[in-house]
Structure 1
Amino acid sequence: MSDEESTRRPRRRARQSYKNEELKRDRWILSYADFITLLFAFFVALYSLSLKEAGDEKVLAETLNGVFDAVQKSIKPINIGEPTAGQPDSERLLEVAPDEPTEFENPPGEVEGRSPLFEVLNQSITSQFPTLERDGQLTITEDAEWVTLDMKAALVFGQGDYELTNEAVALMIVIANILRSYPAPIMVLGNTDDMPINSNRMPSNWHLSSMRAAAVAEELVYRGIDPKLLAPIGFSSENPQVRNTNDYARAQNRRVTLKISKRMADNLYDYLFQ
């Protein structure tokens, strides 16, 4: 064996030993990942116990399933940091859904005072998303015929997008849990501002407003709302709340609205056209 060959082998062993040491040093990552998983399970267990004490076992199962499914369905992360105008506050979290569905007894036609549907929607959303109305991201109103839930587009979608945000999916879970016990016609209205759209996927604001309305309607159907009672409609920029004079005004006009009838009906088509 030559001197050159005898000097090569130790070098190879040294390199191999160095690589093994590097792999051993990185093994802490596995332990750390296990620790984080166990910590998450611990907090879920604490949350489960708190709900169980309140007698909300069914609510617990529905809420956790809905939130985990919402994370899987949404491709947009929740924003973190201080909220800005036209953007949702990431720290608003879903707590619990309503306990057992409440059977509403609204008679057809006009309802004097606040309708039960308005009261339940307003109370549930205020308790579970306490800053939405305060920040102007969501408003709930009613008249003689409709309960109207108006959501700013920045709460429900990313800019120029029609995929629901995580917070929007959590909000739809709460709304659908209430509306399942109130089989009334629902119109989902999509609205944009008057700025021309700049996207390869969306040729116009007509397409964007329609796709956004359809996305909300599809989520409600997925959560158990009868599709016969739903109609997504896109209005583009033709139904503004305020004049499109500046960025703030345009942000008010970018919205999705749920109009829920106070009259019961088997399907929306008969309600509108017969």
Structure 2
Amino acid sequence: MSETDELTRKARVKRPSFKSKKRGLSKDRWILSYADFITLLFAFFVALYSISIQNAGDDKLISETLEGIFDAVQKSIKPISIGDPTTNDPQSESMFEVDPAESEDAELPGVNAPESSSILFNQLSQLIANQLDEYSSAGLISLSEDKNWINLDLRSGLLFDTGQYELTNDAVAILISLTEFLKQFKYPIIVEGHTDDLAINSSQYTTNWHLSSERASSVVDEMVFRGIPPEYIAPIGFSSFKPQVRNTNEFAREQNRRVTLKISKTDNVGVYDLLFK
């Protein structure tokens, strides 16, 4: 190969172009500008959202929302309960709104003794302390007294499975203890069934009236079987129309789902005679 041919071959070899590289680097610089623009736009809308919340007066919600955005942590914000309020208007201070956070500082339901309690109330309190203290301490059993009645509240979660009326094993054991004590006396007992305000979702029951009545009847059947005279006890279902607290959250609804044993202070009188004569 001649020297001329060799020079021609080398001239044909494509050498890297510095300008082409420079153009390649410049080609993608728009991404940085675009990213900066999107970041600023995002911050702008976050600021607008924060201002709108602040106008509503919820500074805590602002703080939680901003922390969740910038730290990429999903915050759990307490939901607002939307729906129809309970149909029963509060008639006394006992009807109040409760929240799980507030319950930590409040006393758990238990024995609420009046200033001057009856002998039966004191004896029943002692029975609960000796045999059922575990349930009372957990807020599953509570006892109170007024002028005419002693009220023993039993949480539905303690007595029944969800949406059912058959008594659990714990429920039977509790009712045996209570019946052994109460059958010594002849005080009329009304067993009330209560539910929350949520519509029932069951093929077995059409309304909460049915469920509350069935649950009260199950307790009465067990107590009659254990020795309470049938003429001294009767069931009644109130559905969701006698709540203890407002049905604003699940914690409150759990308290409203209950069975109440109302023990009259008038002895030697049957339930029918007490109510209708």
Could you tell me whether the CA contact under 8 Å between 1:156 and 1:168 is conserved in 2?
Answer: yes
AA in 1 matched with 2:249: N
Q: Does 1:148 align with 2:151?
A: yes
Deviations 1:159-214 (CA, angstroms, capped at 9, x unpaired)? 11101111111111111111111101100000000111111111110000000000
Give 2:196's aligned residue.
Answer: 193
Aligned-residue RMSD, C-alpha: 1.6
Could you tell me whether the CA contact under 8 Å between 1:125 and 1:174 is conserved in 2?
Answer: no
Moved over 3 A (4+): none
- Provide the secondary structure at the position in 1 that maps to 2:152: strand
Task: Write the distance in 2 (CA, Å) between the matches of 1:243 and 1:231.
Answer: 27
Match of 2:175 among 172, 175, 191: 172
Task: Write the distance in 2 (CA, Å) between the matches of 1:154 and 1:215.
Answer: 14
Deviations 1:68-91 (CA, angstroms, capped at 9, x unpaired)? xxxxxxxxxxxxxxxxx9xxxxxx
Deviations 1:225-269 (CA, angstroms, capped at 9, x unpaired)? 011011100000111111111100110100000000111133111
How far apart are 1:112 and its partner, in Å?
Answer: 8.4
Match of 1:204 among 203, 207, 212: 207
Give 1:241's aligned residue.
Answer: 244
- Provide the secondary structure at the position in 2 that maps to 1:183: coil
Give 2:267's aligned residue.
Answer: 264
**Bigger radius of gyration:** 2
Q: How does 1:21-32 map to 2 (within 5 A)?
A: none
Match of 1:128 among 118, 128, 131: 131
Aligned length: 165
- Provide the secondary structure at the position in 2 that maps to 1:133: helix
Deviates more, 1:182-191 or 1:117-126: 117-126
AA in 1 matched with 2:268: A
Task: Write the distance in 2 (CA, Å) between the matches of 1:198 and 1:155.
Answer: 20
Task: Write the distance in 1 (CA, Å) between the matches of 2:153 and 2:127.
Answer: 15
Give 1:139's aligned residue.
Answer: 142
Task: Write the distance in 1 (CA, Å) between the matches of 2:247 and 2:161.
Answer: 20
TM-score (norm 1): 0.58
Task: Write the distance in 1 (CA, Å) between the matches of 2:130 and 2:157.
Answer: 21
Task: Write the distance in 2 (CA, Å) between the matches of 1:270 and 1:128.
Answer: 33
How far apart are 1:118 and its partner, in Å?
Answer: 1.1
Deviations 1:34-59 (CA, angstroms, capped at 9, x unpaired)? xxxxxxxxxxxxxxxxxxxxxxxxxx
Q: Does 1:163 align with 2:174?
A: no
- Provide the secondary structure at the position in 1 that maps to 2:167: coil
TM-score (norm 2): 0.58
Identity %, equivalent residues:
50
Task: Write the distance in 2 (CA, Å) between the matches of 1:118 and 1:177.
Answer: 15
Task: Write the distance in 2 (CA, Å) between the matches of 1:143 and 1:259.
Answer: 10
**Gap runs ≥5 in structure 2:** 1-99, 101-113
Deviations 1:94-130 (CA, angstroms, capped at 9, x unpaired)? xxxxxxxxxxxxxxxxx98221211121111221122
